[in-house]
Amino acid sequence: ALSVKVTLAVGIGLGYHLLAGMAGFFGLVADLSPPLVALGPPVLLAGFSAWLLATSR
């Protein structure tokens, strides 16, 4: 129970870290606006979290 939650939290954290790193690299290669690239991963995570909350009820 607790170990599953911790494992999932670590997996989500690592996934977020990798997503943010890939977004930064892609933004550099594609010459995108830095604020847009910086806000991409948090907005995606917030949207995914809101979707999970909406579908869980």
pLDDT digits (tens, 9 = 90+) for 19-56: 999 999 999 999 999 999 999 999 999 999 999 999 99
User: What string of H, E and C letters represents the secondary structure of 17-57?
Assistant: HHHHHHHHHHHHHCCCCHHHHHHHHHHHHHHHHHHHHHHHC
pLDDT for 44: 92
Report the pLDDT value the prediction gives residue 1, as an integer from 0 to 100. 85
Give the model's pLDDT for residue 8: 95
Give per-residue pLDDT as tens, 2-12: 999 999 999 99
Query: What CA–CA distances, in Å, run from 49 to 9, 27, 28, 33?
Result: 13, 24, 27, 25
CA 10 to the chain's CA centroid: 13
| Domain spans of the chain, in order of start | 2-56
Q: Could you tell me if 41 and 23 are in contact, meaning their C-beta atoms sit under 8 angstroms apart?
A: yes
Is the model more confident about 22 or about 1? 22
Q: Given this model, what pLDDT does residue 52 score?
A: 92
